[in-house]
Amino acid sequence: MCTTNCPKNRKALTRNADLTTVERELVLASWHASSFAYMPYSKFPVGAALLAENDEGETRVFTGCNVENASYGGTICAERTAILKAISEGYRKLKAIAVVCAKIPGGSPCGLCRQVIREFGGLDGIVLTVQNREGDVTRWTVDELLPDSFGPDSL
């Protein structure tokens, strides 16, 4: 799930009009995914849209929303939902992911999601955090969101 205490003020905003066609599609898909969020406790809908690639070089978009649980540890964030859907379909290379905190745009992936994004996005995977209803974003690399990280290449 997103946190409202994100480092958005440390990076320039990228206007929606300046995004690539694929990035704009991811932003729109993340908004749509947030409408399916199951969040009876927090009332905080989050959506994610992931562009992933399989071993054959084919790309596909996977979406996810946050799914809360009365046992809070059972809650899963939108980012991880989208990533797990991609992995279960054989798409293991994260190219880009857009994340929107629909109620209060401007959030950022939590630490656990950053680690999972790192696992499948490498250091150069792109993370777009939606900052407003117009679909403007802050563009990050995984390395910027999780510097000096531990990943598969660390083993």
- The domain locations on the chain are 2-145
* pLDDT beyond 90 at 98: yes
pLDDT band at 53 (very low <50, low <70, confident <90, very high): very high
CATH number belonging to domain 2-145:
3.40.140.10
98: nearest Cα among 69, 121, 122, 75? 121
- Do 63 and 29 touch, CB atoms closer than 8 A? yes
Residues 6+ apart with CB under 8 A from 103: 43, 44, 45
pLDDT band at 1 (very low <50, low <70, confident <90, very high): very low
Choose between 151 and 70: higher pLDDT: 70
* pLDDT beyond 50 at 11: yes
* pLDDT beyond 50 at 45: yes
> Mean pLDDT across the chain, nearest whole number?
92
Burial-class residue 100 by CB neighbours within 10 Å (0-12, 13-18, 19+). buried
* pLDDT beyond 90 at 137: yes
pTM over 0.75: yes
pLDDT given at position 6: 45
pLDDT given at position 154: 86
Q: What amino acid positions are annotated as catalytic residues?
A: 79
Please state, for a pLDDT cut of 90, what percent of the chain lies above it.
81
pLDDT given at position 5: 44
